[in-house]
Amino acid sequence: MAEIATSPLGRLRQLGELIGGISPAAYRHRCGLLPGGTVGSHVRHCIEFYQCLFHGVEAGEVDYDARQRDPEIESAREAALREIRRIESCDWPRVESLSRDTPLRVRESADAWHASSLGRELGFAASHTVHHLALIAVLLRDHDDAGEIPEQIGFAPSTTRHVNRQSDD
C-alpha cells in the first residue's frame, strides 16, 4: 500500500486501495466483534461523509446526518470504488481550489448548527476515515479470505511516525 497519507483525499485513496485488494465476500463479511457492521457499511459511511462535505461546501452548510445510506455502496465493492474515483476526479479538484479558511456551518444535532471552516472539516474527514480504517482492519483480520492487511492501517499519522522511529532505534 502507498505511503500513509495525511490529507483527506489521501485517506480516501487509502480506503480505495484497501478495498480494491479484497474479495467481494470480505467486503460483505459480518464479524461478531463488531455486531451489525461490515467492511462495506464502514466504507459507505466514510464515502458519504465526503459526499456531504463536498456537496455542502457550495451551500456553505454541511449536514453529515443527510447521508443517503446507499445500499449499493454498502454491498458492492465496485460501486464503492466507482464513487471514490468520482469524488477524486469531480469533487476534490473543486474543493481543493478553495481557501481552507472558507467558513461553513455544520449541523451539530437535529436543530443546532455551529461555525466551522473548510480546513477544519477536511481535517475531520481525514481523522474520521482513519478511525473507520482501523475498524475495517479488525473486520478484515477476522475474515479468512481477506488477504494481507497492512499492519499500520488505521493508524493516525503521529502513531505511524512514532512506530517508525521506535523501529529505527
Q: Which pLDDT score is estimated for 94?
A: 84
Q: How is residue 30 annotated by DSSP?
A: B
CATH of domain 8-168: 1.20.120.450
Output the DSSP codes for 68-111. Answer: ---HHHHH-HHHHHHHHHHIIIIIHHHHHTS-TT-EEEEEEETT
Confidence of residue 40 (pLDDT cuts 50, 70, 90): very high
Burial label for 52, CB within 10 Å (0-12, 13-18, 19+), is buried
Is-contact 109 33, C-beta < 8 A? Answer: no
Q: How far is residue 57 from each of residues 30, 53, 64, 65, measured CA to CA in Å?
A: 34, 6, 12, 15
pLDDT in tens, 123-138: 999 999 999 999 998 8
Q: Which pLDDT score is estimated for 147?
A: 65
Indicate whether 2 pLDDT > 60: no
Indicate whether 91 pLDDT > 90: no
Confidence of residue 33 (pLDDT cuts 50, 70, 90): confident
Output the DSSP codes for 81-92. Answer: HHHHHHIIIIIH
Indicate whether 5 pLDDT > 50: no
Record the pTM. 0.86
